[in-house]
Amino acid sequence: VGAVSYETALAALRDRLSARAIEHSVRVAETACALATTYGADAEAARLAGLLHDWDRELGDEQLLAAADAAGIELTETDRAVPYLLHARTGARSVGEALPELEPEVLRAIESHTVGAGEMSDLDKVVYVADMIAPGRDFPGVEEVRELAGSGTLHALYLRCYQLTLHHLVQRQRPLHPRTVAAWNALVGGDAR
Ligand SMILES: [Fe+2]
Ligand SMILES: [Fe+2]
C-alpha cells in the first residue's frame, strides 16, 4: 500500500485533467484494480497507477516536447512526429514530482502504458491492459480481450492487447516507436533471432 491515498491522487488529478479524462482515468483505475486482484498483483498500486496513468495526456505537442527535453528524455524521430507517444514517459516523471511519495513501481507502470517496454512487470501489464479494455474503450477485438481477462493468463492477455495495438497501428499506417518494436520483440522472442 502506497503512502499516497487514492483520494489525494484524485484531488491532484482534478487540478490537471478535464472531466472527461478523469472519467477515463477512474475507469482505468477500477479495471486495473480488478485485474490485479484476478492476477495476484498489488491491487492498490494498480488502482493508483490506473488513476494517474494519463497525468500528461492533455498536454499539447509543444508542452510534451518541452517536458521531455526538461526531463532529459532522448527523443526519437517517432517522438517528434507523434509527441503524444511521450505522455506516458513525461507523465511518470511529472507525477513523481507532484506526488513524491508514489512508489517507483507505480511510476514505472505509468511510464510503460501506451508504448510498453521490453520488460513488463505484472503491474505494468495490468495497467497497460486496463487502459485498453476499461469501459468506454471501443476497438475491433475489445470484446474478445475482455473475455480473455480472467480466463487466460496475464501474459496471454497482454500479448493479445499488444498484438491488437500493433495491428491497429499498421492498418492505419502509423509509425512504430522503437520502444514498441523492442517491446514486441521481447514479447515474442524476436530479439533472439
Ligand atoms: Fe495514456
Ligand atoms: Fe488512458
pLDDT at 96: 97
Ligand 2 center to 158 CA (angstroms): 15
The pTM score is 0.94
Residues with CB under 5 A from ligand 1 (ion): 54, 114
pLDDT at 35: 98
Ligand 2 center to 174 CA (angstroms): 19
pLDDT at 54: 98
Q: Which residue numbers in the chain have pLDDT < 50?
A: 1-2, 192-193
Ligand 2 center to 131 CA (angstroms): 5
pLDDT at 45: 98
CA of 132, nearest ligand number: 2
**Block residue for cell numbers 508504448:** 115
CA of 89, nearest ligand number: 1
Ligand 1 center to 193 CA (angstroms): 31
Distance CA 38, CA 150 (A): 7
Q: Which pLDDT tens digit goes with each residue over 70-84?
A: 999 999 999 999 999
Residue 46 in contact with residue 130, Cβ under 8 Å? yes
Instruction: Report the alpha-carbon angle 49-154-39, nearest 5.
Output: 70
Ligand 1 center to 184 CA (angstroms): 18
